[in-house]
Structure 1
């Protein structure tokens, strides 16, 4: 392909911002996703917020436990800056209900426990970014509606 076609192809791919303080995790995410998505990696919440001031990804993978500004603080600041429509999948190395509940209150669409498989990461991202490709999409919508209704009771 020529340069113009490459640019068009690159521009048409969905962009994912991966935020994690562990280089090996960022490398694994990038290696897993690079064939299907444009992947941008940063190693801190502060760098994620700086990136968001200049660019708008289609999805954010956000580690909960990071030094200085953890994932919850980063997500809270993102939401306060008006980034409500960017889907966020939290990454966590611990199964803490309090972190998951706090993340859910801030509007995450999913969370993934580390270590995760490449297949699990890809399927969860596709569920969010390509809902019409998801044969369970209608069931997921019904489930989300049910969860919202339960939350009002």
Structure 2
């Protein structure tokens, strides 16, 4: 099966690493950060599947997909990667030219099943999967166990460390944007944090990121200030939990 090759087009470093790690257990992978790089890759390489993030700088996923289709570089399936979960969104993406969509945050087992179904021509049509499972307050053990099924412990540890590092990198612009009431920066940063925490099963962080997003959209600044304080506390709890409670043990 390693003869099959998947191109991963994902702007977020953590998501890209996670996708490479999961898919790499079954197929060969190559990964790029934006649509321009994707078009270049597609013009020189043959792929069996392309995963295309929608929100990217320089060239977004929709433009990249249409460019690849227009230039007839590939007839392989191109899947949109998005956090929009409505069935209307799926229909819209497919009308644009995508073959289907993957909703973030992903569940590793279902994600791989879905990817395999799109590469294996004998597989039946599959539907997309989403949502964070019912979970522990801090870490969803089901998500962790699924990740561990497809990766070794060192890789999982590295992914969670990257997540905490990215949290720290995001929280400063979130604080600045809050002080400046900059809706765009707040929504972009919270979107990233919400997606990554959901994918990795950081349940409390995911819930609070979602709540902060709602506070921002309604411009409820008092509630947002409270939510952000809780979010920072949960980051500390999450790191402590990983070190003292689970230590990444099965």
TM-score by length of 1: 0.73
More off after superposition, 72-81 vs 100-109: 100-109
Supply the distance in 2 between the matched residues of 1:106 and 1:51 (Cα, whole angstroms).
Answer: 21
Counterpart position of 2:12: 22
Counterpart position of 1:86: 76
Change (3 A) 1:97 1:66: farther
Change (3 A) 1:17 1:63: same
- How far is the alpha carbon of 1:63 from its aligned partner? 0.5
Equivalent runs, 1:27-66 vs 2, <5 Å: 27-66=17-56
Q: Given that residues 32 and 118 in structure 1 are in contact (C-alpha distance below 8 angstroms), is that contact kept between their aligned partners in structure 2?
A: yes
**Greater relative contact order (Cα 8 A, min sep 6): structure 1 or 2?**
1
Instruction: Tell me which protein shows more strand as a share of its residues.
Output: 1
Supply the distance in 1 between the matched residues of 2:35 and 2:89 (Cα, whole angstroms).
Answer: 16
More off after superposition, 74-83 vs 40-49: 74-83
Q: Given that residues 66 and 97 in structure 2 are in contact (C-alpha distance below 8 angstroms), is that contact kept between their aligned partners in structure 1?
A: no
- How far is the alpha carbon of 1:110 from its aligned partner? 1.6
- How far is the alpha carbon of 1:122 from its aligned partner? 0.7
Unaligned runs of 5+ in 2: 127-250
Query: 2:29 is paired with a residue of what secondary structure?
Result: strand
Unaligned runs of 5+ in 1: 1-8, 142-153
Instruction: Tell me which protein shows more helix as a share of its residues.
Output: 2
Q: Please provide the CA RMSD for this pair.
A: 2.2
Aligned pair 1:123/2:113, yes or no? yes
Counterpart position of 2:245: none
Query: 1:60 is paired with a residue of what secondary structure?
Result: strand
Q: Given that residues 79 and 106 in structure 1 are in contact (C-alpha distance below 8 angstroms), is that contact kept between their aligned partners in structure 2?
A: no
Change (3 A) 1:53 1:83: closer
TM-score by length of 2: 0.46
- How far is the alpha carbon of 1:98 from its aligned partner? 6.8
Change (3 A) 1:18 1:99: same
Q: How many residue pairs are counted as aligned between the two chains?
A: 126
- How far is the alpha carbon of 1:108 from its aligned partner? 2.0
Structure 1's consecutive aligned runs of 4 or more residues displaced over 4 angstroms after TM superposition are 96-99
